[in-house]
Structure 1
Amino acid sequence: MPSYITDSRLNGYEAAFCGAMAGVVSRFFTAPFDVVKIRMQLQPHRTQFHLKQASPSSHVKYDRVLPALKTILREEGVRGLYKGNLAAEYLYLLYNAVEFCAYREIELAIEKLDSKKQLPGSAKTFLGGMLAGCVATSITYPLDLLRTRFAMQGTHNQQYTGIVQAVKLIYRTEGVAGFYWGVWPAVIQIMPYMGLVFASYDHIASAFKAARENGTLSADYKPIHDMLSGALSGVLSKTAVYPMDVVRKRLQVQGPSRKHYVIDSIPEYATRSWFKCMTSIAEQEGVSSLYKGLTVSLVKVAPAISLTFFVYEKTKDTLLSWKE
């Protein structure tokens, strides 16, 4: 029995279209939080875990979510909150199209292989999400790197003025390998992350579906149930794998372009090793620095995953109604 996400009435192209629509809409509404998160992650100051809200540090430019948003608005205007958004829109469109299409095909393949139904449903959705995320990340990673570098530029003396120009410049100065700074932590992070997202979403959404079918909950609120399922799955999954996201961002901004970024003294790592980078951050800035930007990331990921699955489900329902 396929998961709540997959519908046998949709083919791979239709699943990809639903995913692409979900990615574009989700990205547009959450872009400002992504810019703030990236800048928080790349600040090299030492941090510590606090039970209470720590007072802002005078030498830290982006310290908390709202003050950071205000700083970017004041210095760079509204456009500053959408830096790198074009590359990110392409990224999310392609990423979600590949991911949902791959998830459908992988899940159906697992169903065929597990003809005796020995694997539990949660294991199948986790495996399907894990492999789909790995495939989508590997294919779209250069766009992710471009998104990060655009988001780090100031308003003056910009090194990257457009996607085509940025691609040519990175290729000329860093070679093909320049497009894949931090690809290993990205893949290592995304596999458990998307596995957890799909597995937890399927579990929560299926529980809502059962409650609707037995009359406990009204079917009129299905969109809200889908959004709640997405938000909860996103928060749980992002928290579990967040340190790898920080390492990925640190590695993505390596190279000759570092002097053009809005944050001074971004650490330079002599290695592409994600593990050495992670240990270096922990030693120099404290273990809690591996969670820099977690708050804004959760503020972003809850509506992002929520919108992604909401738009996916609505697009899926629309396509199915047209087919019928």
Structure 2
Amino acid sequence: MPSHASQDRQSLHYIVRSGLAGGIAGCVAKTVVAPLDRVKILFQASNPDFQKYAGSWSGTFRAVAQIYGENGIRGLLQGHSATLLRIFPYAAIKFMAYDQLEGLLMPTRESQTNLRRFTAGALSGMTSVFFTYPLELIRAHIPSIPPASSSTPSAGTNQTSIFTRFPILKFYRGFIVTITGIIPYAGTSFLAWGFLRSRLLPPSTSGFKHPTPIADLCIGAVSGALAQTVSYPFEVVRRRMQVGGITRPDRWLRWDETVRAIWSTRGWRGFYVGLSIGYLKVVPMTAVSYAVWQWERRILGL
């Protein structure tokens, strides 16, 4: 028979609290790194005004300083409200799904393996992406939408018929490469999180060690760094595909031609453009999200 703990984990009350904890944790973490996130998108989209700063950590801070000097704090937080509208359901679904998958795949400490940690993390990431991907695509398009023109040619009518019949597909451009990237990212992140906690916070004779916020921050930071390293090329390709969908609306922008375009212009380094700012953003963001998530779990009795 299932235990009382597993039954409680699957109750609606638990699921709602779990989603609330995850959503708030994601919003807090995203707010902390909002200025860095804005600069990273400018780098990845090859914005000509900021390419001179790309490639170094000092350039990242100079870009932040330029944006702040020109537009103040509003410039650094441009589009952040829209980001929060996306990140709350994304983080809520991700952490809620992981909570459920952890209970199903690893109901006891003895059943916790690295493969199951990776699988639970990857599946939770895929679930959250599936439900929130259109919001991410819209956010990526807003800064890149060109002025409307009545003289835009209507070539490729046959190729756009799929979008006429199934307009929802417009909001899933680049979805496959996103799913391909979220598997190593979320899987590695939760794998490292669970593995490090099991090694650094093992059970003692008097019971389990209680993690501290500092421990959660440190373990989350390492998890974020590892996940970012593994998955960053996928993120670059995804961003180019999303932005490219604006300039080539007549057909799907395939991931293989996007990869070839990046390779032909910058070689393998093109897949790591903005990686330094990626670390600056993802490491503190992951650390804060895990720490706040765990803190809220304790507060909400999860």
Q: TM-score, normalised by structure 1?
A: 0.74
Q: CA deviation at 1:175?
A: 4.1
Matched ranges for 1:285-324 at <5 A: 285-320=266-301
Residue 95, structure 1, aligned to residue 86, structure 2: no
2-structure distance, mates of 1:126, 1:62: 35
Q: Is the 8 A contact 2:245 2:252 kept in 1?
A: no
Q: Is the 8 A contact 2:38 2:76 kept in 1?
A: yes
CA RMSD across the alignment:
3.4
Q: Which amino acid aligns with 2:240?
A: R
Matched ranges for 1:1-324 at <5 A: 10=9, 11-43=14-46, 60-63=51-54, 64-111=59-106, 121-150=113-142, 175-210=167-202, 213=204, 222-256=212-246, 271-320=252-301
Q: Is the 8 A contact 2:173 2:252 kept in 1?
A: no
Q: CA deviation at 1:270?
A: 6.7
Could you say what secondary structure the match of 1:43 adopts?
coil
**What 5-or-longer segments of structure 1 have no aligned partner?**
1-5, 46-57, 159-170, 259-266
Structure number with the higher helix fraction is 2
**What 5-or-longer segments of structure 2 have no aligned partner?**
149-162
Could you say what secondary structure the match of 1:77 adopts?
helix
Q: Is the 8 A contact 1:39 1:152 kept in 2?
A: no
Aligned length: 274
Q: Is the 8 A contact 1:84 1:151 kept in 2?
A: no
Could you say what secondary structure the match of 1:254 adopts?
helix
2-structure distance, mates of 1:111, 1:146: 36
Compared with structure 1, are the counterparts of its residues 184 and 225 closer, same or farther at alpha carbon in structure 2 (3 Å cutoff)? same
Q: TM-score, normalised by structure 2?
A: 0.79
Q: CA deviation at 1:229?
A: 0.5
2-structure distance, mates of 1:150, 1:36: 15
Q: Is the 8 A contact 2:245 2:253 kept in 1?
A: no
Q: CA deviation at 1:17?
A: 1.3
Deviations 1:113-134 (A, max 9, x none): xx9x7x7611111100001100
